[in-house]
Amino acid sequence: MPNTPFNTLQTFQLGDKLARFHSLPQLARTLDVDLQRLPVSIRIVLESVLRNCDGKKITEKHVRELAGWKPNAKRDTEIPFVVSRVVLQDFTGVPLLADLAAMRSTAQRMNIDPQRIEPLVPVDLVVDHSVMIDHYSEDDALDLNMQLEFKRNRERYEFMKWGMQAFKTFGVVPPGFGIIHQVNLEHLARGVHHDAKNDLYYPDTLVGTDSHTTMINGIGVVGWGVGGIEAEAAMLGQPVYLLTPDVVGVELKGKLRPGVTATDLVLTLTELLRRNKVVGKFVEFCGEGTASLSVTDRATIGNMAPEYGATMGFFPVDERTLEYFRGTGRSDKEIAALSAYFRAQQMFGVPAADDIDYSQLLTLDLSTVTPSVAGPKRPQDRIDLDRVKQTFSALFSDSSTAGFNLPAERLHDVYTTQDGVEVRHGDIMIAAITSCTNTSNPSVLLAAGLLAKKAVEAGLSVPAHIKTSLAPGSRVVTHYLEKTGLLPYLKQLGFNVAAYGCTSCIGNAGDLSPELNRTIRENQLVCAAVLSGNRNFEARIHPNIKANFLASPPLVVAYALAGTVMKDLMTEPIGRGKDGDVWLGDLWPSDEEVHALLKHAMDPEAFRRNYAQIASNPGELWKGIQGVEGATYTWPASTYIAEPPFFQGFSMQPGTPSAVRGARALAIFGDSVTTDHISPAGTIMEDSPAGQWLLAHGVMKPDFNSYGSRRGNHEVMMRGTFANVRIKNLMLPPLPDGSRFEGGQTLLQPSGERLSIFDAAMKYVAEGTPTMIFAGEEYGTGSSRDWAAKGTQLLGVKAVVARSFERIHRSNLVGMGVLPLQFKGSDSVEFLGITGTETFDVEGLEAGIQPQQDVTLVIRRPDGSVQRVPVLLRIDTAMEVDYYLHGGILPYVLRELLSSPGQAGD
């Protein structure tokens, strides 16, 4: 390992030996700067920039610029950040693997060694997104759901097995072990890495193809979610490029009141930070309250960084981190290295608020946090528990985007299904203890178990029509729920272990009964789901459930018992037990009861035994999967896996991006359009373009699976783009009651013919007409879903014009060669009177592209009038300019790999 130009290669004491590292204190002395005032997260990124300074992609200038970070400077410089590893979940990992396979196929067709395409850092794919809750409230629900999972996803799993043998650094955690972020936290993360070849220690850093990768911030690891295309570049040796960020400090003071959970805290922080507009910023926690939080509480807060809009929600390494590493079975050697390394870098411990120069400092007194839920449509819309009934009642007739716009007099209507179930507005249909956000946290899982125990003993039960499930993020959860004797009580209420995966949190809740679905649809019922997840966007959990609430696991159980959100749990009894009315206070466990059982959750040997089975005993179903062998994939006929079209016509010389002239509006959307709206993950409707394509290719409705599972096939995914049943295209006329039509339709111009967005897009592509998408604030919020950008590109969209963009989706659009353009000042679709009948030009790129330059949107109206409007080009960095000029990040990286000698396999 060569020294850097700053002579920072030093040693630190590790046990009885000296270990080598690139010393930030030495860099501070060399540059005569006070790095101790920098946020800890910035210092960890700086170490990567310093260690990887090669004079080419990463220069001395990059090191000096980041070492000179100022809390409120103009953010116009980019950081080339080389990560230590990459993590993938299977919904995003399979299309990424398909892209890598397509790169190898392209190389082979060009008579170039395909093994030049090889990840240069470790890559772990955790299979967690595929299992669905078909069976529940049954003792064998877990086995039955896994059997269905393997039946539906065999072709995808065979493809993964090919990847495992084709790439040297590509590993898979098979189905049934847990959720990516919990597996990452409990097992994959090592704290610090040791490069044995160069005898060098350096901190764990990563990107992941899931927005909740930020959960790892809870143990002091810098990492965040990116789209699959950006992750591909990272694993193939490209730095992750980001604008130098602001860092918002969050000082936590005091402590939580008895009975208040980490879920209540994270929902409060999500509301606070979203209100303070932390989008695209690092958030770093500090202060005595932060130091008092357990690592699992910290991980819960880090997990929801995408919901509050931040790039990260970071917690420094301290004694609590070391305790967690011990409790989860890491080796003494690893723990010693983690402690010694961060002390040597002077980055050990949670700083006080005035120790660091933050761009902004926010403060939260933990004692002010109250029991809460969030919903019914967004995770930042927190509701105090004693106001849930009142809020739902008000939103029922509210005509804003937050409400349901139904006549107030219908609120108390009662309907009966064909099989005799009475259903009302506000009734709970799904109650799911799910998601790594909360199932990684023993305190709230044990609280749910204790509440279930008290409920069963009081004689309470859950209504039979409610779909209840328990889907832990790790098999260790089941171990400690069994060890504490709480699992049988959860089972008695219907919370049987149904899967180890994301399930309801990502829309894999499975279906309701046909009778319930019919009654809900025919009567426009606003029914509810309550889940311990991190997202509750419209149609995400189930297409027929309009109100979705995020809650702690014990509150999920409580609401399942109550059966409705139209019951105030603070002032009304949850139900009637064997001895009369039972109230929430009768069931809620004390902090002492929870803490008495916590020792069972941190069992190092249980963690070691569990994760050793990834190699030794991955399960008979996984062992039975056989994949294609060889360095290149043969692309057998499949409706799951197909060679993506992104390299068709590939040549070593990039073409010139086509000018946007005479473009039509494909759709016009409002605020907070999520990547779920753009590219759904859940149910494929039979009458949708994707459903019709599957039927035409011999796939029957029961075998449709989900959009997420079919992301390896572009034919399905491009048809699913903008196909969400709740998306509202403002080009369509209002309905008679003034509300907006929901579903992926548009008006073809200039005829006005009403078509699916996919069919209209294909007509525009056939006639050579470019298209654009228009939107409001927070366009692309939500998941890191690269198919939201890939599908947009395949529909022929050349530009997206919005009031603002969420970080990952904006990056993904650039990565796919789509222009993100941002309205300036008060300009918007409404202000400019854009209806979709116009044509549009984009001017100002002809003489070259500069990051964040102004360009002109030319609006040509049917009456012949022309308006020129300045918009901001949201290609933010010089590197992104190169990506765009190459047609996207994938062609850019492939050209670099194929033109550089000495890659793997040469």
Q: What is the pLDDT of residues 336-352, one digit of tens each?
A: 999 999 999 999 999 99
* pLDDT band, residue 237 (cuts 50/70/90): confident
* pLDDT band, residue 658 (cuts 50/70/90): confident
Is residue 600 classed as helix, strand or coil in its secondary structure?
Answer: helix
Judged on CB neighbours under 10 Å (0-12, 13-18, 19+), 100 is: buried
Would you give the DSSP letter of residue 663? E
Residue 902: the pLDDT is: 52
pLDDT of residue 81 exceeding 80: yes
Closest-CA residue to 328 (of 434, 175, 219): 219
* pLDDT band, residue 506 (cuts 50/70/90): confident
In degrees and rounded to multiples of 5, residue 812 shows phi and psi of -65, -40
pLDDT of residue 906 exceeding 70: no
* pLDDT band, residue 901 (cuts 50/70/90): low
Q: What is the pLDDT of residues 147-160, one digit of tens each?
A: 999 999 999 999 99
Mean pLDDT of the chain: 95
What stretches of 90-169 adopt beta strand conformation (E)? 123-126
Cβ pair 760, 772 in contact under 8 A: no
Sign of the four-CA dihedral 275, 276, 278, 283? negative
Amino acid at the residue 681? A
For residue 548, the surrounding DSSP H or E stretch is strand 547-550
Closest-CA residue to 651 (of 110, 100, 104): 110
User: What average pLDDT score do residues 545-572 get?
Assistant: 97
Judged on CB neighbours under 10 Å (0-12, 13-18, 19+), 81 is: buried
User: What average pLDDT score do residues 174-196 get?
Assistant: 96
Q: What is the pTM of this model?
A: 0.89
Ranges 284-298, 515-529, 587-601, 669-683: which has the least confidence: 669-683
* pLDDT band, residue 813 (cuts 50/70/90): very high
Bigger pLDDT: 237 or 278?
278
User: What average pLDDT score do residues 218-233 get?
Assistant: 92
Judged on CB neighbours under 10 Å (0-12, 13-18, 19+), 608 is: middle
49: CB partners within 8 A, 6+ apart: 58, 62, 63, 66, 79, 80, 81, 82
Q: What is the pLDDT of residues 660-708, one digit of tens each?
A: 999 999 999 999 999 989 998 778 999 999 999 999 999 999 899 889 8
Residue 62: the pLDDT is: 96
In degrees and rounded to multiples of 5, residue 80 shows phi and psi of -90, 105
User: What average pLDDT score do residues 635-652 get?
Assistant: 95
Would you give the DSSP letter of residue 591? H
Residue 224 and residue 181: Cα distance in Å, rounded? 11
% of the chain at pLDDT higher than 90: 87
Q: What is the pLDDT of residues 49-64, one digit of tens each?
A: 999 998 888 999 999 9
pLDDT of residue 94 exceeding 60: yes
Residue 904: the pLDDT is: 42
Ranges 195-204, 505-514, 741-750: which has the least confidence: 505-514
Cis bond upstream, residue 750 (ω within 30) = yes
Q: What is the DSSP string of 322-356?
A: HHHHHHTT--HHHHHHHHHHHHHTT--SPPPGGGS
% of the chain at pLDDT higher than 70: 99
pLDDT of residue 725 exceeding 90: no
pLDDT of residue 905 exceeding 70: no
Cβ pair 761, 666 in contact under 8 A: yes
Residue 832 and residue 867: Cα distance in Å, rounded? 9
Residue 903: the pLDDT is: 45
